[in-house]
């Protein structure tokens, strides 16, 4: 392994410039272990702050669907109005996620995420005073922008956690955030019932209920900004002023993101796991309510269970990605992503053909596991596509997810061209087609689905190629070099052990 000679540089350093870290770290001070129940500064604290604020954004974005039976009568909405608002709710984030990626690269995930969350909170508060179909659409559109905080979550995790655990960190943060889409189907009706019981009329109670997601958003954003930290060593502005971090140029970051074809492929495939998840969040309660004649509360519980599977399914995907990487390197990550997403597509086709309630629920739950695990697996690959433009690639992929949701809802679930069950089956077919491009992803140093790595290619070359000679001379690319060293494991286990590798596996790789 050509990189193995450099692995001796990895020192278990708990005390480096910057101070003591409770968790073991690598040469970039990124944590090499993931302690779920710890709030240790800065790594695990960043984790908890970021997943919770993302969770709150999901709760707000999907707060309206469970209360639609009331809202649609109060505002005199038609099915078309509701469908349009559903599309609007996920379309705002398409561009917001791209912008977010850039913002993270330039000002850091902490400020970027808190700004977005605090600036979209007014849309949630003002949902309490809407009185027409157009105001409903606008409120859902602007609230939907907050889903862009997904990008800052993934960026933050990729900045805080080392390659061996980045899949798990990204998976749990993303999964527990997406959980909000399921939790809200339980939270909002509960809050509404409480307020209604206290004495408000139904048409006022649902309005008051919207203040809860609004508060959650405001408070979580303030916590992020007050308690969080961009990088293990400090915050962007401080590091930049001290010269420890080079302030990059937007043009260069943009160029290196859009010219990397892997980013585009992942954006497409993410549209057919995460995009499908968002689509299902918007339509599944109505589907069960209409097709199987269950009552509204039961439909809501079934709908919630789809989103609630995120507690373990997406983290499971991240964990699987890291586990496959330990054995087979990047090729393992790519294979598991492809297989899991294909199975998800097949289950989607089957779901549309089920005519029995319990069979339908079982297939839906299985489907949710696979499709959400595919999301986790995708973000096991994303951190390696680019180091310089990590934020923008994350943004492109995340944005692609929302594009998938918009396209799918437009083609299959708007108006009455297709019945809902036909739409679901056809969506499954589209998943299968749009997952094929994963076969085209190839890393010269690690290989792709069907091809092995090129003999002389190294991770250093790959990441250093993003910087010009001039920039390299000035040392701007030092973070990329360190990252390349830490990605040594992505080559997978080799059968012949090289003598340069220390006998006991270096502690920084858990």
Partner 1 sequence: MEGRRGGGETHSRSGEVVARMRALKATVNGSRRTARFGGRPCSDSHPDRYVSPVSCRFGRNGGRNTTLHSSTHHTFVQLTVKALLYAGVDQINVTWAINQSLPGATVSAYKKVKVSFCYAPASQADRGWRKTDDNLKKDKTCQFMITTQPYATAGSVAYTVERSIPTATFFVIAYVLDSEDAEVAYGQSTDAQKTTNLFDVVGITGRHASLGIAAACFSAFSVVALAFFFVVEKRKAMK
Residues forming the site for partner 1 (CB under 8 A): 69, 72-74, 76, 78-80, 111, 114-115, 118-119, 121-122, 125-126, 128-129, 131, 201-204, 206-208, 211, 214-215, 217-218, 221-222, 225-226, 235, 237-238, 240-241, 290, 293
Enter the DSSP assignment of 18.
T
Contact present, 420 and 176 (Cβ < 8 Å): no
- Closest to partner 1 by CB, 201 vs 358, is 201
| Helix H or strand E encompassing 456 | none
Burial per residue of 294-318, b for 16 or more beta-carbon CB atoms within 10 angstroms, e otherwise: beeeebbbbbbbbbbbbbbbbbbbb
- Closest to partner 1 by CB, 238 vs 326, is 238
Q: Rounded to the nearest whole angstrom, what is the least distance from the CB of residue 232 to partner 1 in the complex? A: 18
Sign of CA dihedral 398, 399, 400, 401: positive
Q: Rounded to the nearest whole angstrom, what is the least distance from the CB of residue 111 to partner 1 in the complex? A: 7
Q: Give which of 26, 27, 25, 101 is closest to 35, Cα–Cα.
A: 25
- Closest to partner 1 by CB, 234 vs 316, is 234
Distance from C-alpha of 265 to C-alpha of 272, rounded to nearest angstrom: 11
- Helix/strand/coil for 448: strand
- Closest to partner 1 by CB, 203 vs 261, is 203
Q: Give which of 338, 326, 320, 331 is closest to 442, Cα–Cα.
A: 331
Q: Rounded to the nearest whole angstrom, what is the least distance from the CB of residue 115 to partner 1 in the complex? A: 6
Distance from C-alpha of 115 to C-alpha of 173, rounded to nearest angstrom: 19
Q: Rounded to the nearest whole angstrom, what is the least distance from the CB of residue 123 to partner 1 in the complex? A: 9
- Closest to partner 1 by CB, 287 vs 319, is 287
Q: Give which of 269, 277, 275, 439 is closest to 369, Cα–Cα.
A: 277
Q: Rounded to the nearest whole angstrom, what is the least distance from the CB of residue 274 to partner 1 in the complex? A: 27
- Closest to partner 1 by CB, 208 vs 449, is 208
Exposed, middle or buried, 504 (CB in 10 Å: 0-12/13-18/19+)? Answer: exposed
Across the strands, what pairs with 448?
A: 442
Q: Rounded to the nearest whole angstrom, what is the least distance from the CB of residue 449 to partner 1 in the complex? A: 44
Contact present, 98 and 392 (Cβ < 8 Å): yes
- Closest to partner 1 by CB, 299 vs 330, is 299
Please state, as a whole number, how many other Cβ atoms lie within 10 Å of the Cβ of residue 196. 17
Distance from C-alpha of 491 to C-alpha of 472, rounded to nearest angstrom: 25
Distance from C-alpha of 235 to C-alpha of 104, rounded to nearest angstrom: 12
Contact present, 398 and 150 (Cβ < 8 Å): yes
- Closest to partner 1 by CB, 4 vs 74, is 74
Q: Rounded to the nearest whole angstrom, what is the least distance from the CB of residue 383 to partner 1 in the complex? A: 26
How far is the CA of 91 from the CAs of 16, 279, 416, in angstroms? 44, 11, 21
Q: Rounded to the nearest whole angstrom, what is the least distance from the CB of residue 102 to partner 1 in the complex? A: 18
Q: Rounded to the nearest whole angstrom, what is the least distance from the CB of residue 82 to partner 1 in the complex? A: 9
Q: Rounded to the nearest whole angstrom, what is the least distance from the CB of residue 501 to partner 1 in the complex? A: 42
Please state, as a whole number, how many other Cβ atoms lie within 10 Å of the Cβ of residue 428. 22
- Closest to partner 1 by CB, 121 vs 147, is 121
């Amino acid at each position: 392994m050509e990189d193995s000679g450099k692995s001796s540089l990895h020192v278990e350093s708990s005390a480096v410039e910057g101070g003591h870290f409770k968790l073991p770290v690598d040469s970039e001070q990124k944590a090499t272990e993931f302690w779920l129940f710890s709030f240790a500064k800065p790594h695990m604290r960043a984790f908890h702050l970021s997943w919770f604020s993302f969770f709150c954004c999901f709760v707000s974005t999907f707060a309206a669907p469970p209360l639609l039976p009331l809202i649609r009568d109060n505002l005199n909405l038609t099915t078309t109005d509701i469908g349009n608002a559903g599309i609007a709710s996920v379309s705002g984030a398409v561009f917001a996620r791209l912008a977010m990626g850039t913002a993270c690269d330039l000002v850091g995930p902490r400020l970027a995420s808190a700004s977005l969350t605090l600036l979209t909170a007014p849309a949630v508060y003002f949902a309490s005073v809407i009185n027409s179909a157009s105001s409903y659409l606008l409120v859902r559109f602007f609230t939907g922008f907050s889903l862009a905080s997904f990008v800052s979550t993934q960026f933050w995790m990729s900045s805080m956690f080392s390659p061996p655990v980045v899949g798990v960190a990204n998976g749990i943060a993303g999964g527990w955030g997406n959980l909000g889409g399921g939790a809200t189907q339980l939270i909002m009706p509960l809050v509404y019932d409480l307020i209604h019981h206290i004495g408000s009329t139904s048409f006022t109670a649902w309005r008051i209920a919207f203040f809860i997601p609004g508060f959650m958003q405001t408070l979580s954003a303030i916590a992020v900004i007050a308690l969080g930290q961009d990088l293990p060593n400090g915050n962007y502005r401080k590091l930049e002023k001290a010269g420890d971090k080079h302030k990059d140029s937007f043009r260069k970051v943009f160029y290196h993101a859009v010219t990397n074809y892997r980013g585009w492929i992942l954006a497409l495939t993410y549209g057919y796991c995460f995009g499908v998840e968002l689509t299902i969040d918007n339509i599944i309660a109505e589907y069960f309510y209409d097709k199987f004649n269950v009552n509204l509360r039961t439909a809501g519980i079934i709908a919630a269970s789809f989103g609630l599977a995120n507690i373990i399914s997406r983290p499971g995907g991240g964990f699987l990605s890291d586990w496959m990487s330990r054995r087979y390197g990047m090729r393992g990550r790519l294979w598991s992503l492809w297989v899991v997403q294909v199975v998800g597509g097949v289950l989607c086709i089957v779901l549309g053909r089920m005519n029995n309630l319990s069979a339908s629920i079982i297939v839906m739950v299985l489907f949710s596991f696979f499709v959400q695990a595919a999301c986790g697996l995708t973000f096991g690959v994303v951190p390696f596509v680019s180091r310089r433009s990590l934020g923008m690639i994350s943004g492109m992929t995340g944005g692609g997810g929302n594009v998938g949701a918009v396209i799918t809802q437009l083609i299959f679930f708007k108006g009455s061209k297709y019945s809902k069950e036909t739409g679901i089956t056809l969506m499954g077919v589209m998943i299968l087609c749009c997952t094929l491009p994963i076969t085209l992803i190839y890393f010269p140093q690690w290989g792709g689905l069907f091809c092995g790595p090129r003999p002389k290619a190294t991770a250093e070359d790959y990441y250093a190629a993003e910087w010009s000679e001039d920039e390299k001379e000035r040392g701007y690319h030092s973070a990329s070099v360190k990252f390349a060293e830490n990605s040594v494991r992505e080559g997978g286990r080799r059968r012949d052990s090289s003598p340069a590798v220390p006998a006991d596996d270096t502690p920084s790789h858990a």
